[in-house]
Amino acid sequence: MPKFRAVVEGQNFLFVLDDEPQHLDFHRSICLDAECIDSASEQAICCVREELHSHENVMFQSGDSLNVSLGYIEQVDVLDTTCTEQGFIWYFPDDAVFEHKLKHQ
């Protein structure tokens, strides 16, 4: 089965940082096996949504919609060791320097 590396992005999540709720964005790299790129895309987003619900610092309010999207996806060689996952990387929405780094990874 093919292996894929996806970067899932999220915007405007209420995150408790230093005991204070703040709105943050995130990205999360994830590696997975799937039959095709469409299936991999769907699996990546579903997996990240589930992880968000179990994340202890993310706060959900009634009626919140999860603003999660696929930022990037590629098929990788099964034997390639560069398909490494990262945990959630949280950052402030107006952090232009960090956004620039993400787009050039």
Q: What is the pLDDT of residue 100?
A: 41
* pLDDT tens, per residue, the chain with 105 residues: 899 999 999 988 888 888 888 888 999 999 999 999 999 999 999 999 999 888 888 887 656 666 899 999 999 887 766 677 888 998 888 775 455 445 444
Q: What is the pLDDT of residue 92?
A: 87
With residue 6 as reference, give the H or E element that holds it: strand 3-17
Q: What is the pLDDT of residue 43?
A: 97
pTM score of the predicted model: 0.80
Q: What is the pLDDT of residue 104?
A: 41
Q: What is the pLDDT of residue 84?
A: 79
Tokens of 44: 């990546």
